[in-house]
Structure 1
């Protein structure tokens, strides 16, 4: 699994799993090459990670059922034994519920090394396991007329679910901090052409939270030289041979995982032989099918005639226009406007008191299906700033067709503060209520930007532009034009409600940090 940083990227690789992993168990400890100390290192930190998750899950579940019991029945022995279910006291019921809850988490493989730290998939499994458990309990209580207190379940269910998700989030943050220091990563040997190696290495470096780090490459057709290497963003990575030297390369670089992009050069027999060669060691084999920026739900693997064929489902553009997303946008925007009303009032007073001109600035943007609309913002520049653009084009620091300046002379002192923390964009919740924008979506473009679009970039307008999006939580103005387009297109083609919620959560962190905004 590879986490797309924005947490929101999903699996794009086909992992060759053992029978134990397919059955939902953690990978067994296998023979490890003593010359590859990183194998042992990875096993240690993954084992510690999973053990810590077990402790956190147990504490959260036990705490949730205990709080539910105390809140519903109190602490006196008479209160606890008064409500009984088929002869069981509620203390026994709490113990059984906690055991079943932990069992459901194990059945759904929420602690599998294939998903821990993998963003939405890890959270999805926890949520599915919890909903299924309480759904089954509710159905059984109805069918057998069990006298199970609804208030007890109503407290345990949300408390436990929030606690489990929060526990996973806190443990992931701890590991992310260690990875930022160079610890807790999976070392990778990439087998593929130079162009594929460069692309994959850059992606792994950009998404450092995924924990993958390329330590060596095998290039098909290469004449292996001791001093041969490739350079990626200033880092030298040794070339350790061709596609048939993988085992020897592993002994030299000590990688934990082999990522194969050269499937055509290796062929069916070559990949099968590689699987057999790696079987005695604690090394994972990952096959990259060459499909990029496609989320996991759109990838379905079906074995046909002995071949593991990956079916890529069509993009779900219309899903982003569904009732569920519209309802979420309306409810979220209305609640946000009520909560931030004092902040908006203070911003409006500051804008009006410190510079001449209107409080709000109406910027024409191009929305869904190419239709223009007036996007609302607090004015952050001097009045008439649009007329000065032509004189400043020579100092443009923006990427691609974007016009950006880090030290734009048109920005007022108050406007600079509002922009840093994105407070100038708060009036756009009104655009959301008017149906012109969505809470999450591609960046709303200007008309002159759209006129410069090619056919590929125009696909951004297949959904409503958003107040925030992947571009907002992945660097904001610091992103290159190509990276901005890639993130927007990735969102358009892989939209989901879970992704929207994760982006909203990350937006709060990005705005608070104030980085990449000018």
Structure 2
């Protein structure tokens, strides 16, 4: 029996180590493959593209510096931290480090060639950077998607024990369960002796008391222990726990009393042995500045121009179907509670508003819920189902963006009746202009619960950035094509 337990523990330890290093190994392999292809692609382009006058000895140059260039490139990324496990798989830091490492590597090559008076083809160098940066970022993006998909299926997962009060354990477990792509599987908890039970109110198995945290963590074969609120009574107890776990492969993580806060809003400041966390205030005022407005104007104008043929076809289809009006105007609530007419292509029968009561029982959120969404709404017309599936009904809202009533990205524009039922916290959604798309759309649209919709909108309001807007717009393409939650 002892042999079997030791064998099981060894297998679990090896699996935990592999789950930890697998994304890093995959990132190195993907980067080396991309770098090799880009290097040969840049050489091929330098020799074949018509706007380069002379090919010179690019083929000889490639044979001489090809391998050292790829290896050196990867080493620079390693030194700049682009392969650190804590930056892989989530957030924008990974992409920033890849970009920074590539630019640093390009600078090093330029300086070395200048000092050594080495004749390095400028066309080859230009193509190498021009192709290399987007190719590496795309490779990392696709790798991230693959890792997330594997984690959602239970692979590459970390076994986690959460230490803290029952309420804190349940909150952490709920977040980690909801965001399964992170790969943290909560296998149990340790809680204060006063809260001893077989499981927390949220259903997390209780493995022991916080006084025996170290022993429970070691016996459970977990590879991560999360210390949440209520896990320790003093900094001295936390330090002792860290000492006792120092000789084990278990990774220690601390959960601060912060949720739904972007990384770049938090800074750690050391002060006489204390790790002070500086929290930047909410950014909803930044989301109303001129930079976002200019971005909205330029983007809406361009997209409206590109979508004009589609607008014409959709308008004809709606008109021909039943002869009713093409456009549907609905009063919505904008920034600071201002009312405006939201434009949409009509996707329902004429006078659909008068039939709301008749289909209220099919509301997927419940008859008394703030949101009204019916998955099989009988009021939707035949062309309406198609244009809703691909969100074509919302294209006229580019006009709302140009008029300053909406933004390209922002919270979902609510109805006045919905706003009347808002709590004080939910009203913070109105601090910015509503958006044609947002975190709610790229995360599932109507498939989301009301609580998740509010959480995502408030996260956007508090953590706005132009980079996040660009990322949401890019993700919107996939959300629209997949049609998930669109009805």
Shared fold per TM-score greater than 0.5: yes
Counterpart residue number, 1:333: 300
Counterpart residue number, 2:171: 199
Within-5 A mapping of 1:119-158: 119-134=91-106, 150-158=122-130
User: Are residues 458 and 145 of structure 1, via their aligned partners in 2, closer, same or farther at CA, if it must alter by over 3 Å?
Assistant: farther
Structure 1 stretches lacking a partner, 5+ long: 1-31
User: Are residues 138 and 376 of structure 1, via their aligned partners in 2, closer, same or farther at CA, if it must alter by over 3 Å?
Assistant: farther
Counterpart residue number, 2:25: 51
Partner SS state of residue 241, structure 1: strand
- Is residue 415 of structure 2 the alignment partner of residue 474 of structure 1? no
**8 A Cα contact 2:332 2:340, kept in partner:** yes
Counterpart residue number, 2:57: 81
- How far apart, CA to CA, are the structure 1 residues paired with 2:283 and 2:110? 33
Which moves more between the two structures, 108-117 or 319-328? 319-328
Provide Cα deviations, 1:99-147, integer angstroms capped at 9, x if missing partner: 4432331122111111211142222221232344446667899999997
Counterpart residue number, 1:246: 213
- Is residue 395 of structure 2 the alignment partner of residue 426 of structure 1? yes
Higher relative contact order (CA 8 A, sep 6+): 1
What is the aligned-residue RMSD (CA, Å)?
Answer: 3.0
1:435 deviates by 2.8
- How far apart, CA to CA, are the structure 2 residues paired with 1:425 and 1:356? 20
**8 A Cα contact 2:19 2:158, kept in partner:** no
**8 A Cα contact 2:232 2:238, kept in partner:** no
**8 A Cα contact 1:69 1:94, kept in partner:** no
- How far apart, CA to CA, are the structure 1 residues paired with 2:106 and 2:400? 39
Counterpart residue number, 2:335: 368
**8 A Cα contact 2:192 2:231, kept in partner:** no
Provide Cα deviations, 1:431-452, integer angstroms capped at 9, x if missing partner: 2233322221111111222233
Counterpart residue number, 1:62: 36
User: Are residues 57 and 217 of structure 1, via their aligned partners in 2, closer, same or farther at CA, if it must alter by over 3 Å?
Assistant: same
- Is residue 179 of structure 2 the alignment partner of residue 210 of structure 1? no
User: Are residues 216 and 152 of structure 1, via their aligned partners in 2, closer, same or farther at CA, if it must alter by over 3 Å?
Assistant: same
Counterpart residue number, 1:487: 456
1:370 deviates by 2.4
1:325 deviates by 2.7
- How far apart, CA to CA, are the structure 1 residues paired with 2:300 and 2:40? 36
1:480 deviates by 2.1
**8 A Cα contact 2:335 2:434, kept in partner:** yes
Counterpart residue number, 2:73: 101
Tell me the number of residue pairs that the alignment of Structure 1 and Structure 2 aligns. Answer: 477
- Is residue 147 of structure 2 the alignment partner of residue 175 of structure 1? yes
Partner SS state of residue 302, structure 1: strand
Match of 1:507 among 460, 476, 479: 476
Provide Cα deviations, 1:262-308, integer angstroms capped at 9, x if missing partner: 35733111111111111111111111111011000001011112111
- How far apart, CA to CA, are the structure 2 residues paired with 1:479 and 1:223? 33
Counterpart residue number, 1:162: 134
Which moves more between the two structures, 101-110 or 126-135? 126-135
- How far apart, CA to CA, are the structure 1 residues paired with 2:112 and 2:204? 58
Structure 2 stretches lacking a partner, 5+ long: 1-5
Question: Between Structure 1 and Structure 2, which shows a larger proportion of helix residues?
Answer: 2
- How far apart, CA to CA, are the structure 2 residues paired with 1:443 and 1:414? 23
